[in-house]
Amino acid sequence: MSALFSSLDLGPLTLCNRIVIAPMCQYSCLDGNAGDWHFVHLNQLAMSGAGLLIIEATAVEDIGRITLGDLGLYSDDNEAALAHVLEAMRRFSSMPIGIQLGHAGRKASSHVPWQGGASLKPEEGAWTTCAPSALPHAQGEPAPVALDDAGLARIKAAFVQAAKRAQRLGVQLIELHAAHGYLLHQFLSPVSNQRTDAYGGSLENRMRFPLEVFDAVRAAVSRDVAVGLRISATDWLEGEAGLPSWDVEQSAVLATEMAQRGADFIHVSSGGVSPLQKIALGPGYQVPFARRIRQACGLPTIAVGLITEPAQAEAVIAEGDADAIAIARTILFEPHWPWRAAGELGASVEAPPQYWRSQPRDLKAVFGPDARIGQR
């Protein structure tokens, strides 16, 4: 039996296999509202045969958007627009649906990637960003406003309200975004957090606000909803210009604290807090981070990062490096990657009956025994 296609429990949520569709920003919304692009994009992914789909980074307040095109869940209009998309997804797929809630902090107010990703100018609709400290992400960018107590309370409340909206929408998993240089990661890393109050300095202090947000969200939603965290395991800045930075051992401490607070999973990525980062890219380059964090905290752990081939994904699970693998760009390029993985690993996936006739005759088990009807 394939390890990749075995079931997995993430707290109250059971996945039929261990392939997770990672959250992937589409930058295609108007005022935070999902529209026709999301209807097409997410419904396609919902029929891919993966075990879980996590909707892209979703801003908890309007100034927390990376770009003007970001998805949001901070208004009634946002909630209604996403409800329309989710209703269609559920008509044709039983795949569990999660959502990633986040705040861009000092990386907000930017152009979409295919327009270069630089900070917006005032005449282009720029807004004032916020962060733990008044430090810009990159040289030449506007400095953010350092959050005061009122700002911290506002953002924590925004996470809670977005989580409540997600639960009303029937989302089964909430992933808090503390990776890739966005606000919660900005608090964790000494590169971006140079506060001298209770939210800066020591590791305990730098973890304080992300943990407060987690606790508030966990308390606000039902235990039927899985809640976890996505982290950057390292800033990839070790030895760079003498900068103190965030690393895998600090990540292990955070993950252990999350486990003690009742987290249901942890999703391990890396980088994003500084343009000085030097990432050692290669197949599965982030898997060792997932392994270390899984060993430290015991939480179900999701690995990501250039996991592109079924045999490679199978090995990550079979060897105990992680409990699930997440794919992102790979599934954008090949939306039915789990079908191919099932065929290569001798497993089966759920697929709509309209597609049963598509399976190659030498892979008759990919869609399960009922799919043989479609071969007639």
Token pair, residue 115, equals 């327009």
Alpha carbon 198 to its chain's center = 27
Examine residue 375 and state whether it is found in any structural domain, yes or no: no
Where residue 57 sits, what CATH number does that domain have? 3.20.20.70
Does residue 372 sit within a domain? no
Residue 214 lies in a domain: yes
**Active site residue ranges:** 182
Q: What is the pLDDT of residue 370?
A: 61
* Dist. CA 353–CA 322, nearest whole Å: 32
In a domain, 309, yes or no: yes
Give the per-residue pLDDT at 311.
97
Domain count, the chain: 1
Q: How many CB atoms lie within 10 A of CB 256?
A: 15
- Whether residue 367 is contained in a domain is answered as no
DSSP 225: S
pTM for the complete prediction? Answer: 0.95
Domain of residue 304: give its range. Answer: 8-345
Q: Is residue 376 in some structural domain?
A: no
Model pLDDT, residue 56: 98
- Residue 58's identity, in one-letter code, is T
Query: CA 42 to CA 54: how far, in whole Å?
Result: 10
CA distance 117 to 140: 14
Query: What span, in angstroms and rounded, lies between the C-alpha atoms of 156 and 158?
Result: 5
pLDDT of residue 375: 44
> What is the reported pLDDT for 369?
63
Residues in the chain, pLDDT under 50? 372-376
